[in-house]
Amino acid sequence: MTTTRRKFLAGAGVAGAAAASATFPMPAIAQGKMQWKMVTAWPKNLPGPGVAAQMLADRITTLSSGRIEVKLFAAGELVPGRGVFDAVSEGTAELYHAVPAYWGSKSKGIELFGSQPFGLRADEQFGWMAHGGGQALYDEMYARFNLKPFLCGNSGPQWQGWFRKEINSVDDLKGLKFRTAGLASDMYARIGMAVQAMGGRDMFQALQSGALDAGEFIGPWSDSALGFYQIAKYYYWPGVGEPSSAEECGINMKVYNDLPDDLKGAVGFACESLYNPVWTEYTTKHALALQQLVAEQGVQVRKLPDDVIVALGNAAGEVMAELREDNDELVKRIMESFLAYRASISEYMTYADNGQMNARALNYKY
């Protein structure tokens, strides 16, 4: 067992049944300081999102000069990981750290702000939000739920996931019990996979028991801490279901609106200023973790066959077409904004990033 996994599992054991009966007062104020509870969707110390959540709590405290003291509660300590959206919406905690992909039951439009099958990369996702009109739509959607949202990080490209058997055709995917989240779930279901939603630790147990045949979580850094390599040795790429996955901070709307302007600015900047550091930490540590998984754990890295990728792309296109015809007028506007930005940036990236990466991959001395 790796040192990282031992450290994570030690922290992850802190959750209790007593938390379920906890009561939640409104923000405590002591000597002019506000004390905020941050609830998260992650186990404590989980490499990747668990680390990023703590970074955000610390940064809000620092940039507010301590006028807002943020204490982090990991999944299960105050509320279940998938309960953080409602907890903050209802005012039982001040803010949460999670991913938009978890809130599709609230609105399919929400999921577009986190990841889209065959969609935007991490830098493109932030570009849509900051420069393509995405943030205004993000605010409008979350206002329905009494929340003020900010993106505050990104995992970068996720992986297709962990499989016990090799994948050689679309038929090999049909009927597989597969863990994923967000709009990717709809895409995989359309080609016949039996999609299930669950957290990372539950995914490990389900793979171990045989309740799952395969699953994806994030990428090598986070996945190695959860030990999926112990059960499934085939690690497939590319994760076309989530070309990136944005992390978000949701703040109770009244709590946010009651802040003076300087503290609103501090909170917003704390979120936005973490996007690139979180993304680049994922990328750096994913690369190192993948090397270790292959060299030390015997993981076999496999690429999805092109015909499988095309089939998934066609299924994703069907999901996108349905969203364009959604009954919710706001979802349709979010969808049209996303598609317009994707079309524009994809054309440019053919010459820019795609061109550079293809050139770097050629065989030459360096």
CATH number for the domain whose boundaries are 15-156+243-285: 3.40.190.170
Does 179 belong to an annotated binding site?
yes
Does 158 belong to an annotated binding site?
yes
Sequential pLDDT tens for the chain (366 residues) = 444 444 444 444 433 333 333 333 445 455 579 999 999 999 998 999 999 999 999 999 999 999 999 999 999 999 999 999 999 999 999 999 999 999 999 999 999 999 999 999 999 999 999 999 999 999 999 999 999 999 999 999 999 999 999 999 999 999 999 999 999 999 999 999 999 999 899 999 999 999 999 999 999 999 999 999 999 999 999 999 999 999 999 999 999 999 999 999 999 999 999 999 999 999 999 999 999 999 999 999 999 999 999 999 999 999 999 999 999 999 999 999 999 999 999 999 999 999 999 999 999 999
Token pair in block for residue 137: 């739509």
Question: Which DSSP letter does residue 158 get?
Answer: P
Does 77 belong to an annotated binding site?
no
SS3 156: coil
Q: What is the pTM of this model?
A: 0.90
Cβ proximity of 247 and 32 under 8 Å? no
Q: H-helix or E-strand containing 69?
A: strand 68-73
Cβ proximity of 139 and 332 under 8 Å? no
Does 190 belong to an annotated binding site?
no
Does 325 belong to an annotated binding site?
no
The residues, ordered by sequence, that sit 6+ positions from 59 with a Cβ below 8 Å of its Cβ are 270, 273, 274
